[in-house]
Amino acid sequence: MTSRPAATRLCPWVLAAIGAAPMGLVVGRAEAQEAPQRVPVSDPSAETTPLDLESFLRGGGAGWTAASVARLAVATAPSIVSGRAQRDAAQAGADRALQAFAPRLTVSGRYTRLSPISQPNLFAVDPAQLAAARALASTVSDPSARLLFEGNIAGQEAQGNFTFPVILDQVSFDAALTVPVTDLFLQVLPAYEAADSAVAAARYQVAARASEVAQQAREAFYSLARARGALTVARAAVDAVEGQEQIVATMVRSGTASRVDLVRVQAQVAGARVGVLRAEAGARIAEEALGTLLHTAQGERFAIGEDLLAPLPRVAEDRDALVAAGLSHRPETLALRRLVHARGRQGDAAEGSRWPHFALAANLAVSNPNQRIFPQTQEFRETWDVSGVVSWSPNDFFTGARLADEAHALRSQAEADLAGLEDGVRMQVVVAFEGLRASEAAIEAARTGVAAADEALRVRTEQYRAGATVATELVLGVAERARAQLDLLNAALDARVAYSQLQRAIGADGPYDEAR
């Protein structure tokens, strides 16, 4: 919104085109006062229908509206695609954090080939002693006693030759299950809540981008309507000064006007035509800007299908209520609030990493040979164990403190950003609200001005027909009516821009699908 007069918002060349006719009429007025006996010259251009901007402002049935261009801009904006990708990345992070609640299961398999070794003899026996024992046993006369004696000697010899088997090929399958009991509450839960808040913040950021893109498209659409309206007025100004040129030329030929008046009017005609060319360039630029936002084919024309004079929805809330609505519903503020919460929970997770960790661990091993079974045999045997593990590291204590400090600093930054954004939202609401009120009042004033210009033009036309005034006064009336209609154009578009800005400022211009 701006407090500048409506006319100053137009391109300078349009103002020059409209102002050309009145500036060149000073001499005509003076001569009319000095020579009231002048006879009016009959000229068809004097009967030309004045510019009617009403049909332009009312739209032309099928065509584009601010709402339709906003929807297409949101659907094709690259920034929205980028925002969706960031949202999907945040969602993937939240899903990963959720998986941390599940116990950790690790399954592994291993094949090992051992190098050959020589096993020591656990029951070493001196061969000389065995030979002496056998000789002694042979001297025993009792057969039973000799048999028992020889059996003992054979057993000792067998023990002396015993070695444990060496199995060089080993295969094992292991499974380990770990439940981080304390980490579930001190780290996993805060980290998941932080990730979930980050997802919500990313969704609101996409909605904020969509709101911004939609507002840019709406304002570009209204800028196109303003440029085309200014072009219409500029062309009408050319028609007016060209009619003035014909009248003055006729008067010069009849000897009732000087040649210098015709030269001045011809210069005004040339300037007005240049103004039209510049206004056409402005309209083309505005159309290209809208086409770029909508990503349409180059050179596509946009028909204005919105009734720019239709009454806007009434804003029933007062300014304070609108400010409160903006602070509560604006997607940018909602995104930052969720981000503040995420930063806080990240700090909690970092704090939780500093303290001792308690976990339950269970292991299952199926091995061939199984190392826990003695003596080893070449077969698969299973064993298991369950443990309660307490661990703590001084490194984690100090590292967690630094991570917590970092998270708390980021939260403070997000809180400051939120406070600054709330100030900005408050000002946006106030500016849009006051601008809308001023524009609505300007519309009524412009309507009154158009009615007054219409009546003045009607009176001057009657006076010209009755011979009570000169043709220049008629052309001046046409230009004044164009100015009045230009004021109405600016007031109508200013009101619609202010209304769309107010709706965006209070977060009521959506919802957009990206926010869901």
Q: What is the pLDDT of residues 291-315, one digit of tens each?
A: 999 998 877 788 888 888 888 888 8
Domain assignment present for 373: no
Residues 29 and 140 in one domain: no
299 with 416, same domain? Answer: yes
Interatomic CA distance for residues 434 and 425, integer angstroms = 14
Nearest to 237 by CA among 407, 475, 432, 2: 475
pLDDT of amino acid 63: 84
Q: Where residue 422 sits, what CATH number does that domain have?
A: 1.20.1600.10
Q: Strand, helix or coil at 390?
A: strand
Distance from C-alpha of 91 to C-alpha of 339, rounded to nearest angstrom: 14
Query: How high is the pLDDT of residue 234?
Result: 85
Q: Does residue 13 sit in the same domain as residue 156?
A: no
Report phi then psi at 310, rounded to 5. -65, 145
Q: Where in the sequence is the domain holding 433, given as residue range(s)?
A: 6-100+181-355+393-515
251 and 143, same domain (yes or no): no
The reply to whether 107 falls in a domain is: no
d(CA 246, CA 269) in angstroms, rounded, equals: 11
Determine the Cα–Cα distance for residues 233 and 328; give it in Å rounded to an integer: 43
In tens, the pLDDT along 397-432 reads: 999 999 999 999 999 999 999 999 999 999 999 999
Whether 459 is in a domain gets the answer yes
Instruction: Please count the structural domains in the chain.
Output: 2
Judgement on whether residues 285 and 324 belong to the same structural domain of the protein: yes
Distances from the Cα of 175 to the Cαs of 104, 172, 278, 365, in angstroms?
Answer: 10, 10, 79, 7
Q: Looking at the structure, tell me whether residues 155 and 194 fall in a common domain.
A: no
Distance CA(7)–CA(491), nearest Å, equals 10
Q: At what angle do helices 12-23 and 189-254 cross, to 10 degrees?
A: 20
CB 479, CB 22: distance < 8 Å? yes
Kindly state the tokens that stand for 217. Answer: 């498209």
Maximum CA extent, the chain = 181
Which pair of structure tokens corresponds to residue 189? 């839960």
Q: Which residue in this structure is represented by tokens 């009312």?
A: 58
**Measuring CA to CA, which residue among 54, 93, 48, 43 is closest to residue 477?**
48
Residues of the chain with pLDDT under 70: 1-54, 59-61, 119-126, 157-164, 256-257, 464-467, 469-472, 474-475, 478, 511-516
Same domain, 135 and 243: no
Domain presence at residue 167 = no
Residue 125, φ and ψ in degrees, nearest 5: -130, 135
> How many residues are recorded in the chain?
516
The share of the chain scoring above pLDDT 70, in percent, equals: 82
- Please report the pLDDT score of residue 60 as a whole number: 60
Give tens-digit pLDDT for 199-223: 999 999 999 999 999 999 999 999 9
Beta strands in 118-265 (DSSP E): 169-180
Pair 351, 399: CB distance under 8 Å = no
Contact 476, 22 (CB under 8 A): yes
pTM higher than the cut 0.95: no
Q: Quick one: 154 and 260 in the same domain? A: no
